[in-house]
């Protein structure tokens, strides 16, 4: 009998808790959201009305996430998350310019693990190639120089460091740390995916083969994913991603976006960012920080 009384006590306790939960504003909000989702799905998925009335919202979200993952792993997207570099998972996803967009996309996707030299500058593919070839020997302007004469005269760049001032002690030290970190990264045998995005005025195609060969000489287990942005057409109604060049596993795509990121530094239309992320997520990503 004591066990039976204890069972009644537990049952009454559970009932009281359920009543309190059902009377709470959090429960009403969650159930309202679930019912809204339920109504939205009705007619599309064949789900019986009321199915999710007592299901917490986080479980609905988990179910949706699992469904999407199974879909992506299915034959409909056979390459999702499976591409490797020399049989290795990609441990480092690296922004390689030519402006802030690659670093911004990687950072928002939580794939940017550390700061590197090309994250927040304006450059050209030729300038990036030049800096890699001479190991950043003239990456920073001389003390007291307002503009960078080498990059201005050779690559037509008037403004390079738009977010930091290499003439200030703190920002100069920041870039020096970034350069040392990049050198350490290039010594690593981990798989590395370099991501370059360039605007229509800065064509990558002329430099793509040389950039790929240069990266492969500088480090092992690396691929370059380069995206050449094309001018908008038909007010964003014409959208397209087309493979332009391929070399030793590295790829250059021509992408005509829905929206223009040049004034903001990011795409106003999320579809453009997702199109680029889809190429990145084809790789088996396993990001880590440098030791």
Confidence of residue 145 (pLDDT cuts 50, 70, 90): confident
- Residue 15: the pLDDT is 47
- CA geometry: angle 104, 110, 112, nearest 5 deg: 60
Q: Please provide the DSSP assignment of the chain as one string.
A: -HHHHHHHHHHHHHHHHHHHHHHSHHHHHHHHHHHHHHHHHTTTT-PPTTTTTTS-HHHHHHHHHHHHHHHHHSTTSTTTTTB-BTTB-EEEEEEEEESSHHHHHHHHTT---S--TTTT----HHHHHHHHHTTTTTSSPPTT-SS-HHHHHHH--S---SSS-TTSHHHHHHHHHHHHHHHHHHH--SEEEEEEEE-TTS-STTTHHHHHHHHHHH-SSEEEEEEEE----GGGT--EEEEEEEETTEEEEEEE-SS--TTTSS-SSHHHHHHHHHHHTTB-B------
The CA R_g of the chain, rounded to the nearest whole Å, is 26
Give the start-to-end residue ranges of the domains of the chain.
92-281
Q: Considering only CA atoms, which of 248, 245, 209 is closest in space to residue 228?
A: 245
Q: Please give the Cα distance from 126 to 151 (Å, whole number).
A: 10
What mean pLDDT do residues 142-170 have? 83
Question: 255 with 280: CB under 8 angstroms?
Answer: no
Return mean pLDDT, the chain.
82
Lateral strand order in the sheet of 191-198: 90-98, 191-198, 222-229, 250-256, 240-247
- By the 10 Å C-beta count (0-12 exposed, 13-18 middle, 19+ buried), 253 is classed as buried
Q: What is the pLDDT at residue 74?
A: 54
Is the pLDDT reported for residue 136 higher than 90? yes
pTM value is: 0.73
Region 253-277: what's the mean pLDDT?
Answer: 92
Report the alpha-carbon distance of residue 53 to residue 34 in Å, rounded.
Answer: 6
pLDDT digits (tens, 9 = 90+) for 1-46: 444 444 444 445 544 544 454 444 444 444 444 444 444 444 444 5
pLDDT at residue 62 above 90? no
């Amino acid at each position: 009998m004591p066990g039976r009384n204890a069972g009644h006590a537990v049952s009454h306790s559970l009932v009281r808790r359920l009543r309190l939960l059902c009377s709470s504003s959090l429960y009403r909000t969650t159930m309202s959201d679930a019912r809204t989702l339920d109504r939205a799905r009705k007619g599309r998925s064949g789900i019986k009305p009321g199915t999710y009335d007592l299901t917490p919202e986080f479980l609905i979200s988990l179910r949706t996430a699992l469904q999407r993952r199974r879909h992506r792993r299915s034959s409909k997207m056979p390459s999702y998350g499976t591409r490797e570099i020399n049989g290795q998972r990609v441990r480092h996803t690296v922004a390689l310019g030519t402006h802030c967009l690659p670093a911004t996309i990687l950072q928002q996707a939580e794939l940017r693990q550390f700061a590197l030299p090309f994250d927040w500058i304006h450059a050209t593919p030729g300038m990036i190639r030049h800096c890699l070839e001479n190991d950043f020997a003239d990456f920073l302007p001389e003390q007291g120089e307002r503009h960078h004469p080498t990059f201005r005269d050779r690559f037509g760049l008037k403004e390079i460091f738009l977010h930091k001032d290499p003439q200030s002690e703190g920002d100069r030290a920041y870039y020096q740390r970034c350069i040392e970190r990049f050198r350490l990264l290039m010594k690593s045998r981990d798989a590395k995916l370099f991501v370059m995005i360039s605007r229509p005025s800065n064509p990558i195609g002329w430099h793509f083969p040389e950039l790929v060969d240069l990266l492969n000489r500088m480090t092992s287990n690396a691929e370059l994913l380069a995206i050449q942005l094309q001018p908008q057409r038909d007010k964003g109604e014409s959208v397209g991603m087309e493979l332009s060049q391929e070399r030793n596993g590295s790829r250059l795509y021509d992408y005509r976006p829905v929206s223009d990121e040049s004034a903001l530094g990011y795409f106003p239309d999320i579809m453009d960012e997702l199109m680029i992320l889809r190429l990145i997520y084809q790789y088996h990503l396993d990001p880590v920080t440098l030791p």
